[in-house]
Chains A and B, each alone.
Chain A
Amino acid sequence: MSDWINICATDDIEEEDVIRFDHGARSFAIYHSPEGEFFATDGLCTHEQVHLADGLVMDHIIECPKHNGQFNYKTGQATRLPACDHLGTYPVRVEGGRVQIQLTE
């Protein structure tokens, strides 16, 4: 079963930036791309479990704040060492000015 969950208002995330979103025991990173689209990935770096929301967004890349590993946040693909394993990605939509993430129970 899947559900759409409210994250924040669209203007709560600047363009080319990221915020942290915790839901239950899980943590996610929510991105606002330079083109105005929203994306969601796992919130922790696959290398050392660091919150990506403290990192730097450059175009479609998120760079981990601890070791500078990089991922494409649209696909979850690890693009720079020491990140090797890809991030999980999640569907995101905007409804009534709210950013929502779809999570599977």
Chain B
Amino acid sequence: MTAVTTNIPPRDYRLSEENAQKAFDRGLASAEWYHTDVDRKTMKALMKRSDGPAIRDTVIWLGFLAASGAGVIALWGSWWVLPFVLVYGVLYGSACDARWHECGHGTAFKTAWMNDAVYQFASFLVMRNPVTWRWSHARHHTDTVIVGRDAEIAVMRPPDLLKVVLNFFGIFDVWYSLKALLLNAVGKLQEHELSFVPEAEHGKAVTAARVHIVIYAATIVAAIAMGSWLPLILIGGPRMYGCWHMLMTGLLQHGGLADNVTDHRLNSRTVLMNPVSRFIYWNMNYHVEHHMFPMVPFHALPQLHEMIKHDLPAANPSIWHGYREMIPAFLRQLRNEDYYVRRALPPTAKPYREDLHEI
């Protein structure tokens, strides 16, 4: 691993026409990205769709979600409710993100309606408009961590570390999510949403936001009528008290790494982690592999990793190791926002794409 400092002007993350033009002028927007060579026959086998793994995982997920939710209701008012709240919270407020993500790609299940059903449900849990965020994520894959183009850069430079810490409790995310849903529900899309959501989709975005808002409003009314926090602990609340695992794993995806590059090996991180976290995160810890080949379903990513790791920087061996790499980088970026972590490639790898890095 080496530390890299460059002389890039201060970053402007707004998705404005001016910033988009800059990214296009630099060859960074809608660019052709580096891919590790994988022969067609192998890639076809990896991309092959199957309902089995996702049905199995979804039954386990929803089963434990329902069981822990039932435990919360049954033990409400007693201290014994706490472990059930913790489990329910993570299954609701963290596992939802990976389900939203994989089903949004349409790769989790072979059957389209299953992807769509879980996508809609998970979008509600994670408080994202299923229409606007589908387009936002398409942009994230087109222009991954390209400043002024990517709407899903979790930690901008210089990093706002207070915001990062508070987001482990959903403080900012929930505020911005509800604000976006409320605006969408009254028929208004925000400027950045207008930059990537086609006009033909605006009506669908408004309808989806209204459905979400009605359910949240009903939950609040129920809480007031019952004189209890229970409805909010079960609906909406887990997006705050249970999202810590989503943040813990999600920050590692790109945190502290390069921006404005066209090689996912430079801006994405693969982290090996325990099986429980991999279940919650649906294997998105193989993040370089996912960005390089978004057609490969979550259950085939470990196999893909084994096939192409000769061409990637070594995976971080644990979440802890990833944080030991990322946090010092965030701290360095407070003083110098051009700093990023550049991991060494193995001798078997092709060199990083350098042509567009020095802007």
Contact = CB atoms under 8 A, between A and B. Distances in A.
Interface of A: 17, 47-49, 54-56, 58, 63, 65-68, 70, 80-82, 84
Contacts of A17: 40, 44
Contact of A67 (B40, B138, B200): B138
B295 A65 contact: yes
B123 interface: no
A71 B295 CA distance: 15
B44 A66 contact: no
Interface residues of B, number: 22
B159 interface: no
A17 B142 CA distance: 24
A60 B277 CA distance: 37
Interface stretch (B105-113, B216-224, B329-337): B105-113
Interface string B115-149: 00000000000000000001100100110000000
Interface string B192-219: 0000001011000000000000000000
A84 B200 contact: yes
Given A63-B295, A65-B293, A67-B294, A47 B30 contact: no
Contact of B294 (A49, A58, A65, A80): A65
> Per DSSP, are chain B's interface residues mostly helix, strand or loop, or mixed?
helix
A17 B93 CA distance: 39
B138 to A, nearest CB: 5
Nearest to A47: B138
B49 interface: yes
Most buried by B among A17, A56, A63, A84: A56
A68 B198 contact: no
A80 B49 CA distance: 16
B198 A84 contact: yes
B107 A68 contact: yes
B30 A49 contact: yes
B197 to A, nearest CB: 10
